[in-house]
C-alpha cells in the first residue's frame, strides 16, 4: 500500500453513501480479484491493451482493433463502465479479449497487469491513473494516449492540480492527439513535445457512411413511430434538453415526432418525465402496451442510437445546449455518427468537447448551429420542410468525414512500434 492508496481509501469512505445507492456489479473484476485469464503470449505476437472508458471510446476503436489483429497483435479492450463493457463485448468479443479495467489501487493494478502482461498500452482519449502508470513504468510497459483529447474545461481543471498530475502526463511514452490545440495542452501539462503527434480523430475512421442502420425498422415498428410524419431525434441528450426539444417540436407543429436518447442511463426516468406520454423502449421490450399518440419516444436502452439516427429526418446533438437553470453546458456530444448516416444535423451553442470537429463541419456546411430556442425552432422547421436541403447538408458533411479518415492507421503503427520495443526489452 502506498500514500495514494490511503487517499483513495479516504475518498471511498467519504463517498460511501453515494456508492451504496449506485447499482454496480463486477466488483471482483474492479479489484482484479477475478482478473481475466489469458494464455501465455505467443512468440512474436505482441499483446496490446486498449483502454476505453465507456461507450463512446469503445466505439471509436472499431477500425483500430481489427487493424491491429490483422497486423498480428493480440488485442485486449478494457472498459470502466458497465455500458462500455457491454458495448466492447458486442463489438470485439469475436476478435479480441474484453476485460474490465480495475480501480486504481496498487494491488488491483498489480493483479490486473500480472494477468494481462501487455507489451504496450493505448489509453483512448485521456485516462491517466497514477498507480496504473507507475506500475507500467516499473514493468517497462510503454503507455500511449491515442485519439488524445484534452478539452479547455478539463485543461483548466488539471492546471489547478498540476503539481500532482504533471508526473502522469510526463510518464507517457507517446501522445497521439486529435488536433494542435490538444497537443499544446498536453505539452503544457508535462508531456515532452517530441512524444506528441497530431493524428486526427479515430471517430472518423469508425464512422459508418451508410443510408441505413441495423435494427432501424424493428425499432420504428416496436415503438410505433409513424413513417409518414417527420421525426426529430435528440441524441445523447443532457439535463433539460428533452424538455427543450419537446417545446421546440411542439412549436414547429403537432405532426412532428420526437425521440430522445439520454446520454446517461441514470437520467432515463427524468427524461421520461420531460416527454409527456412518451413510449419507452424498455417498456416495449418488456411487453408493455404501445400508445404513440403523443408522438414522443424515449430510447432508454444501450446500443440502438444508430438505429434511431437512421430513422430521423433531423438530428439534434445533445449536451450542446446550456444546462437547465443556466450555468455552463456539458460541452456537446459527437456529431459524426448522424452525419455519416446522412441525417441533417443541428448543434447547440456549446461545442467545447468537439470544437474542432464541429467547426470543421460548419466550414463544410455539413451541420447547422442553433444558438437559442428561436433558432432551434427555425432550423427544425426549415429542414423538415426541405428534403433537398437535408440531403445536401448531409452529403457535404459526409464528404468532410471522408477527408478526415486515417487516424486509426497512424495509431496502429505507433502501438505496434511501441510493443515491439517492449518485447525486445522483455
Compute the mean pLDDT over every residue in the chain, rounded to the nearest whole number. Answer: 91
Over residues 271-285, mean pLDDT? 95
Over residues 109-119, mean pLDDT? 94
| Residue partners of 415: CB distance under 8 A and separation at least 6 | 48, 68, 73, 120, 122, 144, 146
- pLDDT for 355: 87
Residue 234, domain extent:
216-404
Between 9 and 180, name the one with better pLDDT.
Answer: 180
Q: What percent of the chain has pLDDT over 90?
A: 77
DSSP string, 282-301: HHHHTTPPP--TT-EEE--S
- Residues 287 and 417 reside in one and the same domain: no
pLDDT tier for residue 13 given thresholds of 50, 70 and 90: low
- Residues 129 and 115 reside in one and the same domain: yes
CATH, residue 257? 3.40.50.2000
- pLDDT for 36: 78
- Residues 317 and 411 reside in one and the same domain: no
Residue linked to cell 460548419 = 362
- pLDDT for 7: 60
pLDDT tens digits for 139-170?
Answer: 999 999 999 999 888 999 999 999 999 999 99
Over residues 246-271, mean pLDDT? 97
- pLDDT for 210: 96
- pLDDT for 398: 98
| CA dist., res. 83 & res. 103, Å (int) | 16
Q: Which residues are registered as beta bridge partners of 280?
A: 298
Least confident of 21-25, 295-299, 390-394: 21-25
- Residues 259 and 174 reside in one and the same domain: no
- pLDDT for 24: 58
Q: Is residue 154 part of a domain?
A: yes
Closest to 354 in 3D by CA, of 144, 191, 209, 204: 204
Report the number of distinct structural domains present in the chain. Answer: 2
DSSP string, 307-361: HHHHH-SEEEETT-SPPTTSS--------HHHHHTT-EEEE-S--GGGHHHHHHH
Q: Is residue 97 part of a domain?
A: yes
pLDDT tens digits for 32-85?
Answer: 777 777 888 888 899 999 999 888 899 999 999 999 999 999 999 999 998 899
Q: What percent of the chain has pLDDT over 70?
A: 91
Q: Is residue 360 part of a domain?
A: yes
Over residues 113-124, mean pLDDT? 96
- Residues 176 and 55 reside in one and the same domain: yes
CATH, residue 29? 3.40.50.11720
Residue linked to cell 495509431 = 411
- Residues 172 and 301 reside in one and the same domain: no
| CA dist., res. 383 & res. 389, Å (int) | 7
pLDDT tier for residue 23 given thresholds of 50, 70 and 90: low
Q: What is the CA radius of gyration of the chain?
A: 22
Instruction: Look at residue 3 and tell me whether its pLDDT is greater than 70.
Output: no
- Residues 64 and 93 reside in one and the same domain: yes
- pLDDT for 422: 64
CB-side neighbour CA atoms (13 Å) of 73: 31
Between 8 and 386, name the one with better pLDDT.
Answer: 386
Q: Is residue 3 part of a domain?
A: no
- Residues 384 and 411 reside in one and the same domain: no
Q: Is residue 211 part of a domain?
A: no
Over residues 319-340, mean pLDDT? 83
- pLDDT for 328: 63
- Residues 324 and 347 reside in one and the same domain: yes
Sheet containing strand 196-198, strands side by side: 97-100, 74-79, 47-51, 120-124, 143-148, 174-177, 196-198
Q: Is the pTM of this model over 0.85?
A: no
pLDDT tier for residue 234 given thresholds of 50, 70 and 90: very high
Between 127 and 184, name the one with better pLDDT.
Answer: 184
- Residues 226 and 134 reside in one and the same domain: no
Instruction: Look at residue 380 and tell me whether its pLDDT is greater than 90.
Output: yes
pLDDT tier for residue 353 given thresholds of 50, 70 and 90: confident
Q: Is residue 334 part of a domain?
A: yes
Q: Is residue 12 part of a domain?
A: no
Q: Is residue 384 part of a domain?
A: yes
Amino acid at each position: 500500500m502506498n500514500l495514494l492508496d490511503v487517499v483513495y481509501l479516504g475518498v471511498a469512505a467519504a463517498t460511501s453513501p453515494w456508492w451504496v445507492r449506485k447499482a454496480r456489479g463486477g466488483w471482483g473484476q474492479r479489484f482484479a480479484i477475478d482478473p481475466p485469464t489469458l494464455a501465455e503470449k505467443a512468440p512474436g505476437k505482441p499483446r496490446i491493451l486498449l483502454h476505453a472508458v465507456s461507450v463512446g471510446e469503445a466505439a471509436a476503436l472499431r477500425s483500430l482493433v481489427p487493424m491491429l489483429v490483422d497486423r498480428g497483435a493480440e488485442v485486449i479492450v478494457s472498459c470502466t463502465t458497465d455500458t462500455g463493457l457491454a458495448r466492447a463485448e458486442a463489438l470485439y468479443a469475436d476478435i479480441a479479449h474484453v476485460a474490465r479495467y480495475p480501480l486504481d489501487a496498487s494491488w488491483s493494478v498489480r493483479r490486473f497487469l500480472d494477468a494481462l502482461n501487455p507489451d504496450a498500452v493505448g489509453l483512448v482519449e485521456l485516462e491517466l491513473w497514477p498507480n496504473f502508470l507507475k506500475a507500467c513504468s516499473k514493468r517497462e510497459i510503454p503507455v500511449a494516449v491515442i485519439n488524445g483529447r484534452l478539452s479547455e474545461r478539463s485543461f483548466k481543471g488539471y492546471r489547478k492540480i498540476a503539481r500532482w498530475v504533471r508526473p502522469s502526463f510526463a510518464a507517457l511514452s507517446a501522445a497521439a492527439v486529435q488536433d494542435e490545440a490538444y497537443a499544446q495542452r498536453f505539452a503544457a501539462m508535462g508531456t515532452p513535445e517530441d512524444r506528441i503527434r497530431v493524428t486526427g480523430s479515430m471517430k472518423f475512421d469508425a464512422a459508418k457512411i451508410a443510408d441505413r442502420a441495423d435494427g432501424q425498422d424493428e425499432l420504428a415498428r416496436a415503438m410505433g413511430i409513424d413513417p409518414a410524419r417527420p421525426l426529430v431525434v435528440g441524441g445523447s441528450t443532457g439535463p433539460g434538453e428533452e424538455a427543450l426539444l419537446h417545446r421546440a417540436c411542439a412549436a414547429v407543429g403537432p405532426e412532428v415526432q420526437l425521440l430522445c436518447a439520454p446520454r446517461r442511463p441514470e437520467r432515463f426516468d427524468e427524461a421520461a418525465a420531460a416527454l409527456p406520454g412518451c413510449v419507452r423502449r424498455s417498456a416495449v421490450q418488456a411487453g408493455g402496451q404501445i400508445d404513440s399518440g403523443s408522438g414522443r419516444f424515449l430510447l432508454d436502452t444501450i446500443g440502438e442510437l444508430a438505429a434511431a439516427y437512421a430513422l430521423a429526418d433531423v438530428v439534434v446533438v445533445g449536451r450542446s445546449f446550456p444546462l437547465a437553470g443556466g450555468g455552463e453546458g456539458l460541452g456537446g456530444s459527437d456529431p459524426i455518427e448522424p452525419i455519416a448516416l446522412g441525417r441533417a444535423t443541428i448543434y447547440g451553442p456549446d461545442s467545447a468537447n468537439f470544437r474542432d470537429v464541429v467547426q470543421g463541419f460548419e466550414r463544410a456546411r455539413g451541420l447547422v448551429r442553433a444558438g437559442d430556442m428561436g433558432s432551434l425552432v427555425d432550423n427544425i422547421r426549415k429542414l423538415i420542410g426541405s428534403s433537398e436541403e437535408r440531403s445536401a447538408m448531409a452529403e457535404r458533411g459526409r464528404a468532410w468525414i471522408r477527408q478526415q479518415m486515417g487516424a486509426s492507421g497512424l495509431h496502429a503503427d505507433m502501438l505496434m512500434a511501441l510493443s515491439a520495443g517492449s518485447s525486445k526489452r522483455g
